[in-house]
Amino acid sequence: MNKKEKAKKILSILNHSYKTTPVPLDHEDPYTLLIAVLLSAQCTDERVNKVTPHLFKRAKTPRQMINLSYEEIYSIIKPCGLGPKKSRAILKLSSILVDQFNSIVPNDIALLEKLPGVGHKTASVVVSQAFNIPSFPVDTHIHRLAQRWGLTNGKNVKQTEKDLKNVFEKKNWNKLHLQIIFWGREFCTARSCWGLECKICKSCNPNRKRKFIHKKP
């Protein structure tokens, strides 16, 4: 079974399992989504969703955010981890949005990547989920599943993103990104399936007998 055939089978299973794909991070607009995604680095969506209501009650626009002190932001977002780094990034990117973008979050990945604390994956999530622009954000979890399913050679997340974009149609990218995350959390977790248990793993690699060893990104 080649990659295109696997992709077709995977898409069928995911569309059957997840007809709707709600965005896991609570937000009201592109700015609050940007902040939520930034906070989600090395943190669970569940914890971020507990923290952001307290932060956004104080400030939910770039101009409001820059009126808060570093200490105020840090005291709120500390449970998300990497508090000092994330607090500085939130202040700096908010200041840039006010000064250079009239407080409007750009819908361009290249521009977003220039903001402090915003990497390619974060920028991809924002354009995908806030602006509905086709993108395929790949984090370590999607990278792991793409390896298990035989859709990538596993060199790095950049290569995985390229491989996934090659085998899935652009019109499916935004929904697929979330469907794969949901499937990984429910059926193909890091410490249970190992490429042997879930329906997608068995469908894509029916002859696999041993645990799949992942290549780190």
Q: Sign (positive/negative) of CA torsion 69, 72, 78, 79?
A: negative
Selected residue with higher pLDDT from 54 and 216? 54
Helix and strand counts by DSSP (H, E) for the chain: 12, 0
**Tokens standing for residue 129:** 């989920």
Mean pLDDT, residues 142-147? 95
**Tokens standing for residue 32:** 């609050």
CB proximity list for 5: less than 8 A, separation 6 or greater: none
Q: What is the reported pLDDT for 167?
A: 97
Q: What is the reported pLDDT for 49?
A: 98
Q: What is the reported pLDDT for 154?
A: 76
Q: What is the reported pLDDT for 215?
A: 78
Whether 217 shows a pLDDT value over 80: the answer reads no
Mean pLDDT, residues 173-199? 95
Whether 214 shows a pLDDT value over 90: the answer reads no
Of 14-18, 158-162, 166-170, 189-193, the range with the lowest mean pLDDT is 189-193
In percent, how much of the chain has pLDDT > 90? 94
Mind telling me the catalytic residues? Answer: 121, 139
Q: pLDDT tens digits, residue range 77-131?
A: 999 999 999 999 999 999 999 999 999 999 999 999 999 999 999 999 999 999 9
Q: What is the pTM of this model?
A: 0.94
Write down all domains in the chain, each with its CATH number in brackets: 3-21+136-204 (1.10.1670.10), 30-131 (1.10.340.30)
Rounded to an integer, what distance in angstroms lies between the CA atom of residue 106 and that of residue 51? 24
The amino acid at residue 212 is F
HSE-CB at 17 with a 13 A cutoff on CA atoms is 21
Other C-beta atoms closer than 10 Å to the C-beta of 213 total 9
Rounded to an integer, what distance in angstroms lies between the CA atom of residue 189 and that of residue 185? 6
